[in-house]
């Protein structure tokens, strides 16, 4: 009788020419592997970095893996989640009909991401008592997809209800306002302290643009990117478990709890 093997986990990241991006992704996947002994965790990139998605899938197939979950390392459902990743996964798995691969949902929105954002703000110098006098700029990479932009605006509204003086969305590309404009508007409204919270996972060109905008406009606090925050590790495993549960026919109520975490 063969021991049960959980589906392998293939984390699919965007990739970047900036070496900090891949280093951050790999730090996160190392945390994943350490948090779930016995789970095979592979990393792949859509562009710029190696291994590519086809190369990672080929390695899984060569090792005899028959069941896997692809998990997009994305915070919103935009073009990459809706088009790029499904297309490359279909193409990559076509030569291996025995390899069953399901794609998990994107990471956001989730309370765990808010917890990770707050962790980074506190690491950057904010104290618990600063909440009511601080306005936060929730700065994302930006997308031409209106659904993704609407999600960022919704997260900002919900986060504001936890006691911040204000929370405003901003975007490094594609949408407006830019980070610097959101900071200046809060300052014009008389907000005493302004913090910028990058809603991005890894460093790169657009996160650097967020940081530059925060500094140019005189933000008081600039948080680091989410990176390998423990909340992200927990969230990735929840998304993996939800995708695995669908395949194994787990209790639907339990699956819904995983999806809304």
Report domain extents, the chain.
Answer: 8-107+229-259, 125-222
Q: For residue 5, what pLDDT is reported?
A: 85
Q: Do domains 8-107+229-259 and 125-222 have the same CATH topology?
A: yes
Contact residues for 1 (Cβ-Cβ < 8 A; gap 6+): none
Per-residue pLDDT of the chain (261 residues; tens, 9 = 90+): 355 789 999 999 999 999 999 999 999 999 999 999 999 999 999 999 999 999 999 999 999 999 999 999 999 998 889 999 999 999 999 999 999 999 999 999 999 999 999 999 999 999 989 999 999 999 999 999 999 999 999 999 999 999 999 999 999 999 999 999 999 999 999 999 999 999 999 999 999 999 999 999 999 999 999 999 999 999 999 999 999 985 444 444 444 455 556
How far from 187 is each of 26, 130, 136, 166, 184, CA to CA, in Å? 38, 16, 11, 11, 5
* CA dist., res. 62 & res. 98, Å (int): 12
d(CA 240, CA 68): 10
Give the integer Cα–Cα distance in Å for 41 and 68: 10
**CATH fold of the domain at 125-222:** Rossmann fold (3.40.50)
Packed helices 230-248 and 111-123: angle between N→C axes, nearest 10 degrees: 170
DSSP lists the bridge partners of residue 71 as 11
Q: Note the pLDDT of residue 1.
A: 39
* Cα gap 93→251, rounded to integer Å: 28
pLDDT of residue 248: 44
In whole angstroms, give the CA distance from residue 210 to residue 3. Answer: 48
- Rounded Cα gap, residues 76 and 110, in angstroms: 11
Name, in order, each residue with C-beta under 8 angstroms of 181's C-beta and a sequence gap of 6 or more: 170, 217
pLDDT of residue 79: 86
- Specify the pLDDT at position 78: 87
Cβ atoms < 10 Å from Cβ of 92: 23
CATH fold label, 8-107+229-259:
Rossmann fold (3.40.50)
Q: 191, 144, 198, 190: which is closest to 169 by C-alpha?
A: 198
Indicate the angle between helix axes 230-248 and 19-35, nearest 10 degrees: 60
Full-model pTM: 0.92
């Amino acid at each position: 009788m063969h021991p049960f093997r959980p589906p392998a986990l293939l984390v699919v990241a965007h990739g970047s020419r900036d070496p900090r991006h891949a280093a951050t992704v790999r730090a996160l996947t190392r945390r994943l592997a350490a948090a779930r002994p016995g789970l095979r965790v592979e990393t792949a990139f859509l562009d710029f970095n190696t291994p590519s998605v086809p190369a990672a899938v080929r390695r899984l197939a060569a090792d005899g893996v028959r069941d896997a979950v692809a998990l997009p390392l994305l915070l919103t459902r935009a073009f990459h989640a809706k088009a790029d990743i499904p297309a490359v996964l279909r193409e990559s798995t076509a030569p291996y009909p025995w390899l069953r691969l399901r794609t998990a949902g994107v990471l956001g929105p989730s309370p765990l991401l808010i917890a990770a954002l707050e962790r980074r703000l506190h690491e950057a110098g904010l104290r618990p008592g600063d909440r009511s006098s601080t306005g936060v700029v929730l700065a994302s990479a930006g997308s031409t997809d209106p659904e993704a932009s609407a999600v960022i605006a919704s997260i900002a509204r919900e986060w504001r209800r936890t006691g911040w003086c204000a929370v405003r969305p901003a975007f490094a590309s594609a949408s407006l306002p830019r980070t610097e404009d959101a900071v200046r508007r809060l300052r014009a409204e008389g907000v005493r302290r302004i913090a910028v919270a990058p809603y991005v996972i890894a460093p790169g060109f657009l996160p650097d643009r967020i940081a530059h905008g925060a500094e140019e406009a005189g933000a008081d606090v600039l948080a680091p990117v989410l990176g390998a925050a423990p909340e992200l590790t927990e969230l990735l495993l929840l998304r993996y478990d939800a995708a695995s549960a669908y395949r194994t026919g787990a209790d639907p109520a339990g699956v819904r709890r995983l999806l809304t975490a």
